[in-house]
Amino acid sequence: MKYIKLIYLSVFCGIISIFSFFNIAFSYYLNFYLNLNTYIYTFLISLIFTILFYISNSNDVKKTTIYEKILTILLGYFLLPLLISIPFYFSIYNLTFVNSYFEAISGFTSTGFTIFDNIRYVDPSLVLWRSSSQWIGGLYFLFSIILLIDIFDYSFKKSLTNFISFNKAETFKQSLKIFLLYSALTFVIFIILNIFGIRMFNSLNLSMTFISSGGFLPVNNLSSILINNSQIIISSLLMLTSFFSIFLLYNLIFTKNHNLNFFNEDIHLLFYFLILSFIFFIFLNFNNNFSELFLSLTSSVSNIGISLDNNSINLSFIFLIIVMIGGSFFSTSSGIRFLKIYSLFKYSINEILSYSRPKNIYINKHLFSKDSFKLDEIYKYFLSVIVFIISLLMLTFLLTLSGIEFESSFKLSILTIMNTVNSSMFGLADFSFYDLHFATKYYLIFFMIVGRLELLTLLIICKKFLFKN
């Protein structure tokens, strides 16, 4: 364990124990005693791990290397879902360990694949636990980005300095700030959904789904929750919380420095989203029901993936492309990231033009930034795209070998790596994960984690342990 920073895992074990306590209180208050013991087990076990990890790491004062940080994050993605899987495994539904762990990983990575065919028959306390696993996983993802900030590009790190201090002496203060902001946004989403007439229990679950870009729903069909156009539109807009940077509203309201450099990525994303909305409204609104189409659009760009049942699957390929692009670097959504693709495209065009018109000077910088992006950033972007393509081909091949037809394998691979739930707009709403072979479930578990990690981190680990001098 010399490469692992246990204090980081101790914090999240503590958060799991807190949510376990909330579920115990929820079960007692509403007389849901069927799975009560499972939350007591989870509370005690996660509390023990919290204390043990904290004690084991209390005397560790050495400087943390980037390899130790990556291994810590990676271990957390395997270990923390083990704790989350306890209520699934010991529930009354007789789930195997593989199914329980699959459900926990799917929630923690905010993917949303589920082995439950009918949520209506699932105990409400367990439904709430599924949503909680997404919320915890979304927070873990945000903390992971801060921990791994050294491997990201300079322009991204600079854009965060308006909100975060990278002074190691203020680590706790900055972590608390992220936690409070994430919690406050969740609460705001919950209140807004209640104002628009959505049932409180559904609002609570949806708020944790939207903020974490998760895919778990408290019901089988979203159409049973969103019953009018106003609810559809407001839910669509709230999904964008996990598309833009989580710091966007904070920087707009509470900071005096409104330099465009601090909003560079979000401004690009805003124009990207507005252009997509215009195209969908003018050219793709075949059924003259833009509110439902708009929900599918916002769900795709934020990598949530949920949709209404009557959504046409004729646009599934377009939605998959949007899912692959993804949103902000510091949001809870996944994807390759729009700014990466834009930067690669602009750099490639400038390179082509520089050869055709050598006397002209072409500057590689974003529209709303004074800083030019550096060549090593372009290399990182290109490498991450290559790793994504390789991962996609590998998983598609493995799923095809498992007996899944190629089209479904390819779509499912994209959704797995992009941590997006399978729904009707991708033509996979009826796909059953429960019936998959256990080996196939482990493939999906591994690639769900790969999709949640910054893909560059895997190459760094490989370089460390496979290419030692």
pLDDT of res. 79: 95
DSSP sequence for 389-434: HHHHHHHHHHHHHTT--HHHHHHHHHHHHTT----GGGT-TT--ST
How many angstroms separate the CA atoms of 226 and 229, rounded? Answer: 8
Please, which residues have CB within 8 angstroms of residue 321's CB and are 6 or more apart in sequence? none
- Give, in degrees to the nearest 5, the angle at Cα 349 between 344 and 355: 130
Choose among 208, 202, 205, 207: nearest CA to 225: 202
Question: What separation in angstroms does the CA of 401 have from each of 408, 427, 431?
Answer: 12, 21, 17
Whole-prediction pTM: 0.92
How many angstroms separate the CA atoms of 279 and 425, rounded? Answer: 17
How many angstroms separate the CA atoms of 330 and 94, rounded? Answer: 38
How many angstroms separate the CA atoms of 124 and 106, rounded? Answer: 19
pLDDT of res. 184: 94
pLDDT of res. 381: 82
Choose among 48, 2, 3, 40: nearest CA to 21: 40
Q: What are phi and psi of 51, to 5 degrees?
A: -70, -45
pLDDT of res. 272: 94
pLDDT of res. 161: 47
Per-10-residue mean pLDDT of the chain, 469 residues long, equals 69 95 92 89 96 77 71 91 96 94 97 93 94 96 80 53 49 76 95 96 97 95 93 96 85 65 81 94 83 94 89 82 90 86 84 73 66 75 85 95 95 96 91 94 95 70 57
Please, which residues have CB within 8 angstroms of residue 131's CB and are 6 or more apart in sequence? 107, 204, 205, 208, 209, 214, 216, 218
Which sign, positive or negative, has the C-alpha torsion 61, 63, 66, 68? negative
* CB hemisphere CA count around 167 (13 angstroms): 5
Choose among 86, 57, 153: nearest CA to 374: 153
Token pair belonging to 189 = 């989403």
How many angstroms separate the CA atoms of 463 and 151, rounded? Answer: 14
Asked if residue 12 lies in contact with residue 76, where contact means CB atoms within 8 angstroms, the answer is yes
Token pair belonging to 204 = 């609570």
pLDDT of res. 225: 95
Q: What is the largest CA-CA distance in the chain?
A: 77
The three-state secondary structure class of 367 is coil
Using H for helix, E for strand and C for coil, what is the string for 3-66?
CCCHHHHHHHHHHHHHHHHHHHHHHHHCCCCCCHHHHHHHHHHHHHHHHHHHHHHCCCCCCCCH
pLDDT of res. 352: 81
Which sign, positive or negative, has the C-alpha torsion 116, 121, 123, 127? positive
pLDDT of res. 35: 86
Question: What separation in angstroms does the CA of 41 have from each of 114, 135, 370, 430?
Answer: 23, 20, 54, 33
* Count of Cβ atoms closer than 10 Å to residue 272 Cβ: 19
The three-state secondary structure class of 289 is coil
Asked if residue 131 lies in contact with residue 190, where contact means CB atoms within 8 angstroms, the answer is no
Asked if residue 134 lies in contact with residue 332, where contact means CB atoms within 8 angstroms, the answer is no
Choose among 389, 378, 383: nearest CA to 349: 378
How many angstroms separate the CA atoms of 128 and 238, rounded? Answer: 20
How many angstroms separate the CA atoms of 468 and 391, rounded? Answer: 24
